[in-house]
Structure formats: C-alpha cells, structure tokens
Amino acid sequence: MTHTALTVQQTARPTGFPTPGHFRFAESAVPDPAPGTALVENVLWSVDPYHREMMDGDFALHAPLEGRTIGRVVASRDPSLPEGALVFHRHGWRTHAVVRPDEARLLPDFAGVPLSAHLSLLGGTGLTAYVGLTRVARLREGEDLFVSAAAGGVGTATGRFARLLGAGRLVGSAGSAEKVRHLTERVGYDAAFDYHTGPVAELLAKAAPTGVDIAVDNVGGEQLAAAVGALRERGRVVRVGTVGQYNTPGAASAAFDHAAVVERSLRIEGFLVRDYTAVQEELYAFAVPHLRSGALVPDETVVDGFEHIVEAFLSMLRGGNTGKMLVRAAT
C-alpha cells in the first residue's frame, strides 16, 4: 500500500463553468484508523452533476470534497468493517478515507455483476431512476415517458428500468447525434432528439405527437417547459435535477402554462434520493437478476486514474459522458 494519500480540494467559487484552476490536489500521509473506524483505499469514484451545485457553497474551500465512492478496507479497528471488504461510502474525491461503521455500507457480493454497477445502476444513480419511476411517477404499464438528458447516468437508467417495468413509448432528449443513436439503438428508447437542433417543444411534439404520461426532468428550463406542455391529462413530472442551469447563473426558469397544471390535473414533484435509502434492497431485488441475465446493461463512461478525476468531472459537465461517469483507480 502506498504511504501517500491524495485529496481533491476546491480552491475558489466558480461563476459559470468551473475550470481545473478551481481545484487542487493535496498530498498527505495515509491516515491511521482510530478505534471504531477503518481505513479504506478507494478504487472507484462517482462524479455527479450535483457536485457542481455544491461548489457554489456546500463544499468548503480548501477541504476534502465528498462523493459516492467504493473502496476496500485495508486496515480496521472495528469488527463490522473487516479488512478486505468492499464498502460504499461518501468520502470521495480522495485516494484514502477513514470511515466509521455508520458512514460505510458493506457491498453485497452479486456474482456476475460488475463492481461499477454499485455506483451506476445499483447505486445512487440507479436508485434515483427507480424511485422516480416507482415512487414519484408511480409508473403504470403502458404509460409513455419523456426523459430529458436521457443519455446521462439517470437518463439511461430511467430508460432501461422503464422498459423492464412495462412502459409504453419512450422518448428522450440528448446533446448529440451520437447520443441519440445510443438511446435508440442500445438503451431501448423508441425516439430521441438532439435538443440543439430546434425548439425543444417542437422536437418533442414531433417525437411524441399524442403526448406523454410522465416526464422525468433532469434539466429544467426549456426542456421542463416542453415536458409540461406535452403531458396528457393527469400527467406527472418527476423533477430530478436542473443540470441545464448549474453553469449559467441567472438563466431563466421554465416558462409554462400554469393554468394547464390545474386544467389537466398535472402533478410536478421533486425528491431527494437520500430520503429513499430504504428502497435499496428493493432495487437490488429488481435489478440484479436482470443484470445477471443480460437484460439490463450498465451505461458507463470510465476514466482510468484518480489523477484524472477533475478532468472527468469537467468533461461530464460538458456532456462528455454517455451514461454514468466513473473514475477507476489505475492498476
């Protein structure tokens, strides 16, 4: 095991898109675990859109950042975290972390399931998609969906889960022709469009001429407005995020017909996945058999080397990923 630990720290608050200059790598000695804790050497890191929002104030400057991470226990002073065990925790953006039992979750060993799935389809990304469909939208068999940012981590998971749950027509928006092809040829979307090619309301109307029952919105702004306009009576909007506004301070909010919410009995609901951790075991029961059979395939973009984690994060913010963006420790 190496004797030097690396930690990524934020050095300044960005206006608009962050740059490498907003971060620094800090070196320190690998810490020793205190009684009741364990030392974890991280092997997989998740970089997520919500991290951009946290850079505006939730992340402390010149301090370690947080993020979803998988690591292996390399030294333990607590029997519930045995050496050699793989654990999920949120002390990310660093090569090593000291965790308490209440900060880490032992990962189940699902034979035939890739480890990375625990940060994508079986992790917070997949749980967000699953909760959005089953708890917030309450998807019923045969219902039609529109998903914004459909080629991202949550968007691809939503499409794949919705198909397995019996959804009807699936329509998604993405940021390039290549991503559109990925959605329709690999993920299972019936139609998709590049939102750069025209007004979103017109593109959505062409892809879903009779409307949709559910919209899973990861973007906000124009795409949210178009989604509301396309909803049928008793339609539902699941608000997951506002990635389209994280890097554009002062961007206009979605402008839609508020009267239609009443006249068509629409529902718009947001949620935080942290309030649904009790659904994790249900997600495993649903997704793991499909992963083993090949009916469910993770969509992931993997960058090798912790030293590239900032680059991976910035690339993700500019749409450089298809599916979940992950960073893997170099071997």
The whole-number mean pLDDT for each consecutive block of 10 residues of the chain, a chain of 331 residues, reads 89 95 97 97 96 93 95 98 98 97 97 97 98 98 98 98 98 98 98 98 98 97 96 98 77 84 97 97 98 98 98 96 97 80
Q: Are 146 and 245 found together in one domain?
A: yes
∠ CA 283-284-287, rounded to 5°: 80
Count CB-CB contacts under 10 A for residue 102.
Answer: 7
113 shares a domain with 25? yes
pLDDT digits (tens, 9 = 90+) for 189-234: 999 999 999 999 999 999 999 999 999 999 999 999 999 999 999 9
Domain that holds residue 140: 124-273
User: Residues 139, 263: one domain?
Assistant: yes
**Count of structural domains, the chain:** 2
Strands 96-99 and 38-46: antiparallel
Q: Are residues 91 and 188 in the same domain?
A: no
pLDDT (0 to 100) of residue 113:
98
- Residue 69 and residue 157 in one domain: no
Does some domain include residue 279? no
Please check whether residues 37 and 8 belong to one and the same domain: yes
Same domain assignment for residues 258 and 307: no
Specify whether 73 is located in the same domain as 205: no
Q: Is 284 contained in some domain?
A: no
What is the Cα 51 distance to its own chain's centre?
Answer: 11
133 & 245 share domain: yes
**Torsional class of 250: left (φ above 0), alpha (ψ -120 to 50), beta (otherwise):** left
Query: Is residue 143 in a domain?
Result: yes
The pLDDT of residue 1 is 59
Residues 188 and 224 reside in one and the same domain: yes
Going by C-alpha positions, the residue among 207, 283, 217, 216 that lies closest to residue 245 is 217
For residue 262, give both structure tokens.
Answer: 């009443």
Q: Considering the entire predicted model, what is its pTM?
A: 0.95
Q: What is the CATH number of the domain that holds 35?
A: 3.90.180.10
